[in-house]
């Protein structure tokens, strides 16, 4: 009877891990090459040395670095709510995903040196509202020593109004920069890539993290297998190992799927705002085009 109950428990314990592991893409299980490991252990190249703010450099790699940067910031100890607040502030003012990625990376790198400080989201939102961008904004992040208290309703209103006033100007700045790069490409000029080396370094760190996750899961499965081979397996140990497997799997999943979901929602939100802005501009043009009544 005891063996029957134990078999039922074992089947239940193994069911969820087996399904979760089967769903992992084959590409995710690829081995980490030696170069990636070396990159992962190297301090990030300073943004100023990697064309992070170059107005004539393409930001494509910065853009696709955002999920990696979000992951790094989360692992440095910043709460999800604070990360989202910073992302919202950057989105509301019209910063590109690439510029936003550099902000998140700066905070995660600073946290490693001086420890985490509460209020990152509020601090960044205020800096953005006050017009800080690029290197100046990153310098302010590095300089911060104090934690930032909750904002009053009046402060939130003031920041919101400042951000709204800057949005159209920010979008126009981005538009001009992309038009300039497009022109340079048409002229056959060589275009530099913003933060290319930094992107490679962060990507390498993610690969190493995946390798760590696979090793941890293998160790836990081995522990469970060893316990099951005993004549009288310890059910409590099996349950504990199963919980550890679930926690590890959830932690790793959060570092991948949740980031993508948040970025998808952020993109939808940004697209909606752009459409509203286009409609607003169209209404203005329509009003200018109308002549006085009875004219003609």
DSSP codes, 95-128: --HHHHHHHHHHHHHHHHHH---S-HHHHHHHHH
Give the per-residue pLDDT at 42.
73
Helix, strand, coil percentages for the chain (3-state, nearest 5): 75, 0, 25
Ordered by start, the domain boundaries in the chain are: 2-14+28-283
pTM confidence score:
0.68
pLDDT digits (tens, 9 = 90+) for 166-204: 999 999 999 999 999 999 999 999 999 999 999 999 999
pLDDT confidence tier of residue 252, bands split at 50, 70 and 90:
confident
Question: Percentage of the chain surpassing pLDDT 70?
Answer: 71
Region 10-17: mean pLDDT is 53
pLDDT digits (tens, 9 = 90+) for 207-222: 888 888 899 999 999 9
Give the per-residue pLDDT at 37.
42
Give the per-residue pLDDT at 7.
59
Residue 34 in this model has a pLDDT that exceeds 50: no
| Residue 193: strand, helix, or coil | strand
Q: Backbone phi, then psi, for 58, in 5-degree steps?
A: -75, 140
Residue 256 in this model has a pLDDT that exceeds 80: no
pLDDT digits (tens, 9 = 90+) for 96-154: 999 999 999 999 999 999 999 999 999 999 999 999 999 999 999 999 999 999 999 99
Which of 160, 162, 129, 167 lies closest to 281, judged by CA?
167
Which one has a higher pLDDT value, 198 or 257?
Answer: 198
Q: Backbone phi, then psi, for 230, in 5-degree steps?
A: -70, 155
Region 33-39: mean pLDDT is 44
């Amino acid at each position: 009877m005891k063996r029957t109950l134990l078999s039922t428990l074992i089947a239940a314990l193994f069911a969820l891990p087996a399904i979760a592991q089967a769903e992992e893409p084959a590409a995710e299980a690829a081995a980490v090459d030696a170069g990636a490991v070396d990159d992962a252990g190297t301090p990030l190249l300073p943004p100023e040395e990697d064309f992070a703010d170059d107005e004539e450099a393409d930001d494509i790699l910065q853009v696709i670095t955002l999920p990696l940067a979000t992951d790094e910031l989360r692992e440095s100890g910043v709460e999800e709510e604070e990360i989202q607040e910073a992302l919202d502030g950057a989105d509301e003012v019209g910063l590109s995903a690439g510029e936003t990625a550099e902000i998140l990376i700066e905070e995660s790198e600073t946290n490693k040196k001086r420890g985490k400080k509460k209020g990152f989201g509020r601090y960044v939102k205020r800096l953005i509202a006050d017009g800080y961008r690029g290197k100046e904004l990153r310098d302010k992040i590095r300089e911060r020593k104090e934690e930032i208290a909750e904002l009053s309703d009046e402060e939130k209103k003031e920041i919101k109004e400042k951000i709204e006033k800057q949005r159209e100007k920010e979008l126009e700045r981005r538009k001009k920069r992309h038009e300039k790069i497009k022109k340079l490409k048409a002229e056959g000029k060589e275009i530099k890539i913003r933060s290319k080396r930094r992107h490679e370094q962060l990507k390498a760190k993610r690969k190493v993290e995946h390798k760590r996750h696979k090793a941890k899961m293998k160790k836990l499965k081995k522990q469970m297998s060893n316990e099951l081979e005993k004549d009288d397996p310890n059910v409590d140990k099996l349950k504990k190992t199963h919980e550890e497997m679930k926690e590890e799997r959830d932690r790793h999943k959060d570092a991948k799927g949740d980031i993508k979901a948040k970025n998808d929602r952020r993109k939808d939100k940004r697209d909606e705002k752009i459409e509203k802005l286009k409609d607003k501009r169209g209404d203005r043009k329509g009003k200018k085009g109308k002549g006085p009544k009875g004219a003609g």
